[in-house]
Structure 1
Amino acid sequence: MTTPLAQIRNFSIIAHIDHGKSTLADRLIQACGGLESREMVDQVLDNMDIERERGITIKAQTVRLEYKAADGQVYTLNLMDTPGHVDFAYEVSRSLAACEGSLLVVDASQGVEAQTLANVYQAIDNHHEIVPILNKIDLPAADADRVKAQIEEVIGIDASEAVPISAKTGLGIPDVLEAIVKRLPPPRGEVDAPLKAMLVDSWYDTYLGVVVLVRVVDGVLRKGQKVRMMGTGATYEIERVGVFTPKMRDLTQLSPGEIGFITASIKEVADTRVGDTITDDRKPTAEALPGFRPAQPVVFCGLFPVDAAEFEDLRTAVGKLRLNDASFTYEMETSAALGFGFRCGFLGLLHLEIIQERLEREFNLDLIATAPSVVYQMTLTDDSTIELHNPADMPEVTKIEEIREPWIRATILTPDEYLGSVLKLCQDKRGVQIDLSYAGARAMVVYDLPLNEVVFDFYDRLKSVSKGYASFDYQITDYRPADLVRMQILVNSEPVDALAMLVHRTRAESRGRAICEKLKDVIPPHMFQIPVQAAIGGKIIARETIRALRKDVTAKCYGGDATRKRKLLDKQKEGKKRMRQFGKVEIPQEAFIQVLKVEG
């Protein structure tokens, strides 16, 4: 039986990390009887261990709930739990495009944060009706009036009818359900039009192959139907159609306005691109849904096994992970210092951290990650343009006409007393101030920053200068020309490829000195003196020397002339000189980890 469009509500929950988005989703599922109390767990939609531990949502999830409203009608509510982090901004934009309204959850004690802003603006761009919700109203520090004023001032939407709730205790949940039914619009769509459905998300299931989350815009999706992906041109026959309640429930078809899943013996998640349009193979729709673009990795780093014997295990692990995450890319690379490994591309730093943690946990691997770098665009003297992912592959300086680096627009919200430190940090990172405004006692700073400065330690330093109170969100804007140089680290006059990096000319010296000092502490002394140098081309910009282990060769000399001692010392000096020419410096794996920590 098809649900009438007027009785369907599709909505997503948007919030900053830790403002209670997943907890509210739990309460809504409980209130609508989606799961029995014995089946309930906290953060029921966050099914990865990392999601639960960190309190973040990584994959978008959907739940179909049946709700009997005060007017006696039974409504079908489709809830989308979207990731909040900037790395997954594209997935969020597709999830929002599949809905007509949003619940804006704001912590009544903390107020509006940077991430809330970014996602709310995306919702407004998608013409959403937005219902503000003040969560954690039961806390002593909660100040509903202040937060309402902040929502109106910073975001610019009416918060006079914001719903006060406590997702933890269940206070105010019926009011939220009524607000969803009354204030959010129903979807629109034509049953008789050619099939047009949006691919919202996909993941790999060991038994079913790829499970695809879809929102039907026009037409009907049926079991046994032959469909085509408009972005990739691939055709598939649908085997299963259903919805999540949040358990999988099979249906015979999905009608306009409904959100559900399909499976069709698809082997790889890479074949189902988020944002693609699904249509009938025989009677296709004239044009695809707008906004589709392939996922582009932004941050790259090398992943190497600590034990070279684990390389095959790492190959299997990245292959399996790629099955489930199409935005993660990898290719083989070798390093003189670290052996065989993979050069991997990620959507951002959180994505990098999550993938590394999943590889180590789920596949029991010990990994070393090289310093993260961003994608640079280079124009060569022969007018060709290349993209550089790995600083070790940089062409000769004489062949390069111009190097462009990615820039971001960052929005930082910070309490007033830390504003000076935050501005200084942004200036130190070559930032350009765009805007500074106030929302109550908090300053909102908008800066343009080069991404490669943010990739290293910006977030950690922002948290430390603001005692954890500042929140930060960004999006990539464009590529701009920059005076970048490749800095090599030489140990005993041998370049260490794993530590090569592209840095701004004004930064090269301080960063080179920091790495040399760190290496001096972590490389153990050898029988000969070892110079550790940072170099740009043929020019040495920083140097430290690791002292030699010295054997006391004069110990057997009793009495006699001083020249006897001198002779023995000269002989030792000659030997050390020869050793330095032919001696090989062993750099322990810990040294790389320590140095990359100083950078990362």
Structure 2
Amino acid sequence: MKNIRNFCVIAHIDHGKSTLSDRLLEFTKTIDKRNMVAQTLDNMDLERERGITIKSHAIQMRYVHTDGEVYVFNMIDTPGHVDFSYEVSRSIAACEGALLLVDASQGIQAQTISNLYLAIEHDLEIIPVLNKIDMESAMIDEVSDQIIDLIGCTKEDILLASGKTGIGIQEIMTAVVNRVPAPKGDPEAPLQALIFDSVFNSFRGVIAYFRILNGRMRKGEKVRFFHTSKEYEVDELGILQMNLIPQPYLEAGNVGYIITGIKESREIKVGDTITNAINPCTEAIHGFEDVKPMVFAGLFPIDNDDFEDLRDSLEKLQLNDASLVFEPETSVALGFGFRCGFLGMLHLEIIQERLSREFNMEVITTVPNVSYFATNTKGEAFPVRTPADLPDPNYLQEVQEPYIRAQIITKPEYIGTIMTLCMEKRGILTRQTYLTTYRVELTFELPLAEIVFDFYDRLKSISRGYASFDYSMIDYRASDLVKLEIKLNGENVDALSALVHRSKAESFGRKICTRLKELLPRQQFLIAIQAAVGAKIIARETISALRKDVTAKCYGGDISRKRKLLEKQKEGKKKMRQIGSVEVPQKAFLDVLKLTD
């Protein structure tokens, strides 16, 4: 066990984690030159197309040290985007050390700090690595000073490397051997293994990835899952390299995979403990807390007959992405679907894309919103996840919305525009710190609902891509929120209703009404599109009726003949409007919802 090292790679998005991981795989000959591609560990098409890591990827490497000793490295490459921070927290729970990667040309950014604090909380040994030192714009001395200020190390502790050219790879390997502690654990104790990830294979069922803390796991023996208390026989277990490599047994300190023939995805939970059925351990491992979704949206199948298929697809995705939470819900307009919780808008977009690519499921998404807390006049508090959950104003005492602490790191010349953006989003500036003469950290308290839609995109555009952004939840605060309802000829369209701040209700209502007027097809009768808050109509658009020229056959003669025909048509239109219902086409739903992006 003294020759095992478990470590992960953490950094801000686009600081070169996947490229550095490629060089480490090449150096240890885990993968030969023929099979080498850029971003080797990013095995999803989506990851390669966007150039981001979405999933953590575990892999085992064998390294021969300069003294001839052979070491086993279990490395986990993690995502860098704030929306996938849950993947990072799970990877950290399975490691003893972390390579903290900082781009020498960009310096420390918000997510670097966030991931570093996660690692420090779990008592990981931090190895700072300055990446991309071969670039002309690299600021080696300045960024080294930033790292020293942040983690209090010495300049000698910082390793200089380049994932592109392979500079400094030997030094990183030596540092992992010398600085990262070997895993602690007793191979003779009862089995205790933490599941940190899982994936569904259509031929073999659920494959769970685990880290053994104590004990030994053998092929053919019976194991028990703590969370479900179900027992299974180990059909296969082994180590994770580019392919799954079976082993007869694995001991404490190791990372591997287990196949037990489980076909039901709900029977395995990430964060669960595996133990021996005959000689079980007394308590489960406290690995990491349950996920807290930030953004909620309804996902509905385009065809209602696909409801069960959508459920299966979401369950299989949840295996692979434990931060996705969902529960069934119904909508008058869209039928049966699921209320899903996501960590952010990018996470929502990725899940939609994965449903489409991996499971061939096209879905309609309702207006994304966040979770609120409401208190009624009886003093009862309850969560509000959809606008339909909010009681009528007569029975409502107060609504509380979630607030976040946002850290924005930028260049000083963009401070003014960023402050304007945050004030517009109802933000409060709490701190302004100069990290260096060229970098300033702004801390704001903002309502979560305000950053859900376009905040990140606008921040990037006004700072020309230089601002980095990270956030964490603070608490819930009382707010003046109202339920905005969209009515078509007096009937509510529940899929388009939203919870908005009273100051923004009118402009938001006008936008949706104008958009619907452009998108809805004209009918034989007049359609009134209204945005209402309670009984008060705050915006209205009208789609005029399609009319046939009923007087075309009257040539001359008495005017009363024409008037009679027009009156008859008017009566018909009135009757048609009473019994006719306005169908909102699926395409119109999608286009209206894009208005908020």
2:409 to 401, 409, 413: 413
Residue 471 of structure 1 is aligned with which of 449, 468, 473? 468
Q: Is the 8 A contact 2:13 2:79 kept in 1?
A: no
Q: Distance in 2 between matches of 1:311 and 1:291?
A: 34
- Is the alpha carbon distance of 1:159 and 1:263 closer, same or farther for their aligned partners in structure 2, counting shifts above 3 Å? farther
Deviation at 1:596, TM superposition (A): 0.4
Q: Which residue is 1:350 aligned to?
A: 346
Query: Which residue in 2 is equivalent to 1:239?
Result: 235
Report the counterpart of residue 133 of structure 1 in structure 2.
129
Check whether the contact 2:86–2:323 (CA below 8 A) recurs between aligned residues: no
Give the corresponding residue for 2:65.
69
Does the residue aligned with 1:481 lie in a helix, a strand or coil? Answer: strand
CA contact (8 A) 2:89 2:288 kept: no
Measure, in 2, the Cα distance between the counterparts of 1:33 and 1:16.
27
Aligned residue identity for 1:453: E
Distance (Å, rounded) in 1 between the aligned partners of 2:495 and 2:138: 49
Cα distance in 1 for partners of 2:466, 2:576 equals 54
Superposed CA deviations along residues 135-175 of structure 1, whole A, max 9, x for unmatched, are 22222222212221222335554454422222122222222
CA apart distance, 1:508? 1.4
**CA distance 1:351–1:171, change in 2 (3 Å):** same
Structure 1 pair 356–421 and aligned structure 2 pair: CA distance change class (3 A):
same
1:430 equivalenced with 2:426 (yes/no): yes
Asked whether 1:514 is paired with 2:539, we answer: no
- Work out the CA distance in 2 between the residues paired with 1:382 and 1:262: 52
2:482 aligned residue (468, 482, 485): 485
TM-score by length of structure 2 reads 0.91
Aligned partners of 2:202, 2:525: CA distance in 1, in Å?
56
Cα deviations by residue, 1:185-209 (Å, 9 ceiling, x for unpaired):
2222223333332222222222332
Q: Does 1:198 align with 2:190?
A: no
1:494 aligns with 2:500: no
Instruction: Tell me, in whole angstroms, the C-alpha distance in 2 between the residues paired with 1:186 and 1:317.
Output: 39
CA 1:36/1:124 → structure 2, altered by over 3 Å: closer, same or farther? Answer: same
Cα displacement string for residues 67-86 of structure 1 (whole angstroms, at most 9, x for unaligned residues): 11122222111111123233
Residues 583, 401 of structure 1: alpha-carbon distance in 2 compared, 3 angstrom cutoff: same
Describe the SS at the equivalent of 2:453. helix
Secondary structure in structure 1 of the residue aligned to 2:360 = coil
Alignment of 1:83-232 (within 5 A): 83-154=79-150, 156-232=152-228
Equivalent in the alignment of 2:257: 261
Q: Which residue of 1 aligns with 2:583?
A: 586
> Which residue of 251, 256, 268 maps to 1:272?
268
Give secondary structure in 1 for the equivalent of 2:8: strand
What code does the residue aligned with 1:521 have? E
Q: Is the 8 A contact 2:14 2:80 kept in 1?
A: no
Indicate conservation of the 8 Å contact 2:100/2:129, yes or no: yes
Deviation at 1:497, TM superposition (A): 1.0
Specify the code of the residue in structure 2 equivalent to 1:594. Answer: D
Runs of at least 5 residues in structure 2 that lack an aligned partner in the other structure: none
Question: What is the distance in 2 between the residues matched to 1:58 and 1:594?
Answer: 27
Q: What is residue 382 of structure 2 aligned with on the other side? A: 386
Q: Distance in 2 between matches of 1:345 and 1:32?
A: 40
Asked whether the 8 Å contact 1:392–1:501 carries over to 2, the reply is no
> SS at 1:374's partner residue?
coil
The one-letter code sitting in structure 2 at the alignment partner of 1:507 is: K
Contact 2:194 2:287 (C-alpha < 8 Å) held by counterparts:
no
Question: Does structure 2 conserve the Cα–Cα contact (< 8 Å) formed by 1:490 and 1:533?
Answer: yes
Residue of structure 2 aligned with 1:60, choices 50, 56, 60: 56
Greater CA drift, 327-336 or 429-438: 327-336
Aligned to 2:456: 459
The separation in 2 between residues aligned to 1:63 and 1:309, in whole angstroms, is 40
8 Å CA contact 2:53–2:80 kept in 1: the answer is: yes
Describe the shift of the 1:96–1:452 C-alpha distance in structure 2 as closer, same or farther (beyond 3 A). same
2:515 matches 1:503: no
Q: Name the SS of the counterpart of 1:599 in structure 2.
A: coil
**Structure 1 counterpart SS, 2:582:** coil
Give the Cα separation in 1 of the matches to 2:155 and 2:514.
Answer: 54
Aligned-partner SS, 2:186: coil
Q: 1:598: Cα distance to partner?
A: 1.0
1:149 aligned counterpart, secondary structure: helix
Residues 279/418 of structure 1: CA separation in 2 closer, same or farther (3 Å cut):
same
1:442 aligns with 2:439: yes
Q: Is contact 1:274-1:292 (8 Å) kept?
A: no
How many correspondences in the alignment?
596
Q: Which runs of 5+ in 1 are unaligned?
A: none
Letter in structure 1 aligned against 2:188:
D
Q: Residue deviations 1:76-109, cap 9 Å, x none? A: 1111112323333333223112211111111121
Look up the equivalent residue of 2:441 and give its one-letter code. Answer: M
The structural deviation recorded for 1:255 is 2.1
2:18 maps to amino acid = S
CA RMSD, Structure 1 to Structure 2 (Å): 2.7
Q: Deviations over 1:436-487 (max 9, x none)?
A: 2122212212222222222222222222222222221222333333222211
| Preserved CA contact (<8 Å) 2:269 2:319 | no
> Which one is further off, 486-495 or 91-100?
91-100
CA separation of 1:434/1:268 partners in 2, compared to 1, >3 Å: closer, same or farther?
farther
Percent identity over the alignment is 54
1:361 to 2:351 alignment: no
One-letter amino acid of the counterpart of residue 593, structure 1: L
1:526-541 counterparts in 2 under 5 A? 526-541=523-538
Match of 2:44 among 48, 73, 76: 48
Deviation at 1:496? Answer: 0.7
In 1, the alpha carbon distance for the partners of 2:258 and 2:582 equals 57
Amino acid at match of 2:72: T
Instruction: Measure how far apart 1:490 and its partner are.
Output: 0.8
Aligned equivalents of 1:56 and 1:254: distance in 2?
Answer: 32
232 and 480 in structure 1: CA distance in 2 versus 1, 3 angstrom threshold: farther
**How far apart, in 1, do the equivalents of 2:316 and 2:120 lie?**
37
Which one is further off, 103-112 or 470-479? 470-479
Q: Secondary structure of the equivalent of 1:84?
A: coil
Between the aligned partners of 1:108 and 1:373, the Cα distance in structure 2 is 37
Task: Output the CA distance in 2 between the equivalents of 1:329 and 1:289.
Answer: 22
How big is the shift at 1:315?
4.8
Give the conservation status (yes or no) of the 8 Å contact 1:62–1:246. no
